Copies of this chain bind each other. A is one copy, B any other.
C-alpha cells in the first residue's frame, strides 16, 4: 500500500434522497439512510461511514440536509463540524458533491475524493475496500474512476457503464477505460447489456482527484462551479452560513452524472473498477425482503424487531416499529409497513409502484405522512 497516496484520500458521503419507494418507513423526516434496513444493528449511513474508516480514517465528509443535522450527528458522533456539510435545501447531486470537492480542493488541491451514497448495502466490506484502493491508484493517474457493479439481472432501474480496454495501472489490475455512460435501458436493451458482459451498473460510486472533478464541473456548469467555489472559500470562516444561505438558492439543480461524469467520459477521463462485492441500493421493499432472512418458523421476514408478528400460511415482509400484534393469514409475497401514522399494504411484485403512490398522495395534499 502506498501510504502517501492513501493520505490524499478523503471520503464523501452524500446523504440525500428520501427513498420514496420505501415509504412510509422512509420519508422526508426520516430518510432511508437513517434506517437499519438489514437487521445489522447499524443504520445505512453508519455502515457507510464505517466502511470508509479503514480507507480514510476521519477524513470523511458528509453532505446532507440541514433538517437531518441532529439525526446524522447521533449516528456519526465523531464527525467534526467542518466535515458536516449542511444543505439549506436539496439541490441534486452536482451541487452536493461539487461543494464537497470545492471545500476539499481548497484544503489541499492534491486530494482524491471518493463519493459513496449513504444508503447502499455492500458486503463483504473488504472486497469493496480493495476496489476502492484500486480506484485510488487509478484516480492518481488522472482519472475519474467509477466503481461499477457486475449486473446480475437485466435491471431497468439503473444506468449502465460501458467498459472499454484494460488500463495498465500499477496497483489497479482490474481498471478499465470507460467508453460511455448509458441511461436506464428498456428491458430488451438491459438483456443485451447483461448478455454482452461489457456493461456494469452505475452505482454512483466514484473516486477522483478533486481538481479533475472541478475542471469538468467548471467547463459544463460554470455558474454552479463559481457559486460552489465562493461557498467553499467562506467555509472555514465566520461567513460560512451567511454565504451558503445567499448563494445556494441561486445554484442550478443538476445531477453529477450530467455535470461531470458524462462529459468526462466523452473526454476520455473516466475509468472503471468492476466491483465484485455484493451491492444493493435497497431500492424498494422487495430488496428488504432479499436482504433480511425470513423466519424459519413462519416464512415471513420481519424488519424492526417487533416480536408480535404472527402468520398462518403467509409469506412476505413486515416492517414495523410498533409493538402491535400483526397477523398475516393466507397471503403471499405481501409487504406490510406499519408506522404510527401510515400503513402500507402491497406485494413484492408491486414494490416499485410505491413511488407513484407517494407522488399521488403529494398531489392530493396528504403531506403530514410524506
> CB within 8 Å of B: which residues of A?
24, 308, 310, 312-313, 324-331, 334, 336, 338, 340-347, 349-350, 353-354, 356-357, 360-361, 364, 366, 369
Residue among B331, B340, B344 making CB contact with A346, cutoff 8 Å: B331
Question: In the complex, what residues of B have CB within 8 A of residue A24's CB?
Answer: 325, 327
A325 adjacent to B343 (CB under 8 Å): yes
Given the complex, which residues of B lie within 8 Å of A327, measured CB to CB?
24, 342-346, 357, 361
Q: Which residue of B lies closest to A338 (CB)?
A: B343
Q: Which of B334, B340, B350 contacts A313 (CB 8 A)?
A: B350
What B residues does A310 contact at CB under 8 A? 357, 360-361, 364, 366
When the two chains form the complex, which single residue of B334, B341, B369 contacts A345, counting CB atoms closer than 8 Å?
B334
Chain B residues, Cβ within 8 Å of A331:
334, 345-347, 350
- Scoring A24, A310, A336, A338 by chain B CB atoms within 10 A of each residue's CB, the highest score goes to A310
Using Cβ atoms and an 8 Å threshold, which residues of chain B touch A356? 312
Instruction: Please give, as numbers and ranges, the residues of chain B lying within 8 Å of A344 by CB-CB distance.
Output: 327, 329
Alpha-carbon distance A346/B310, docked complex (angstroms): 12
A333 to chain B, nearest CB (A): 10
Number of copies: 2
Q: How far is the CA of A208 from the CA of B361 in the complex (A)?
A: 57
Shortest Cβ gap from A299 to chain B (Å): 14
Q: How far is the CA of A285 from the CA of B60 in the complex (A)?
A: 54
- Chain B hits for A329, CB < 8 A: 344-347, 350, 353-354, 357
CB contacts (< 8 Å) of A326 on chain B: these are: 342-343, 345
Report, nearest first, the 5 A-B pairs whose CB atoms are least far apart.
A330-B350, A329-B346, A325-B342, A325-B369, A326-B343
Q: Which residues of B contact A341 (CB under 8 A)?
A: 324-325
Given A326-B342, A328-B345, A331-B350: 17 more A-B contacts, CB < 8 Å: A308-B366, A310-B357, A310-B360, A310-B364, A312-B353, A312-B356, A324-B340, A325-B361, A325-B366, A326-B343, A326-B345, A327-B345, A327-B361, A329-B344, A329-B347, A329-B353, A330-B346
Provide the residues of chain B in CB contact with A312, threshold 8 Å.
Answer: 353, 356-357, 360
19 contacts between A and B (CB under 8 A): A308-B366, A310-B357, A310-B361, A312-B353, A312-B356, A324-B342, A325-B361, A327-B342, A327-B346, A327-B357, A327-B361, A329-B345, A329-B346, A329-B354, A329-B357, A330-B349, A330-B350, A334-B345, A336-B345
Chain B residue numbers with a CB within 8 Å of A357 are 310, 312, 327, 329
Chain B residues whose C-beta falls within 8 Å of the C-beta of A360 in the assembled complex: 310, 312
